[in-house]
Amino acid sequence: MAEPHTIHVDIVSAEGEIFSGLATMVFAPASQGEIGVAPRHAPLLSMLKPGEVRVQTPDGAEQLFFVGGGAIEVQPHRVTVLADTAQRAKDIDEAAALAAKQRAEEALRDRTDHISQAEALAELARAAAQLKIIQRLRKVRG
């Protein structure tokens, strides 16, 4: 178990672990204002706004991490920051969803476009090359 004056901090994002270690104090940009978490804080769960998470380590240094949002979970001896790697906002997400839809629609619209024709030609070329090799091997082994 951690010493009484420190708290274990894990900062993880979907793409990897960012920080893991002990701290005397953690500050995080919670959705309703910045919060400071000291050891033996009451259990808390909050969403985060984009901003910086500050971790004060036992040797007196302070480390800064930028998070694009996410969530923070506080247990008496453990803080977990689930950081987003991307900026999240309702309209940004909405725009991304729209773009994904459009890509699908576009792909469906031009089923017979030049791309698929090029693909077909490439396939034909591949098949012809295979045939050639088979014939040559037959000749050699024949």
- Interacting residues toward other proteins by CB under 8 A: 10, 12-17, 30-32, 42-47, 70-71, 73-75, 80, 82, 84-88, 93-101, 103-104, 107-108, 111, 116, 119, 133, 137, 140
**Rounded least distance, CB 7 to other proteins, Å:** 16
* Of 7 and 74, CB closest to other proteins: 74
* Of 52 and 93, CB closest to other proteins: 93
Query: Collapsing DSSP states into helix, strand and coil, what is residue 88?
Result: coil
* Of 20 and 62, CB closest to other proteins: 20
**Rounded least distance, CB 60 to other proteins, Å:** 27
Structure-derived torsion over alpha carbons of residues 72, 74, 77, 81, reported in degrees to the nearest 10: 0
**Rounded least distance, CB 53 to other proteins, Å:** 15
Element containing residue 8 per DSSP (H, E)? strand 7-13
What would the two tokens of residue 76 be? 């008496």
Distances (CA, A) of 81 to 3, 10, 39: 20, 6, 15
**Rounded least distance, CB 45 to other proteins, Å:** 4
Report the amino acid identity of residue 61.
Answer: A
What would the two tokens of residue 31 be? 């959705």
* Of 13 and 24, CB closest to other proteins: 13
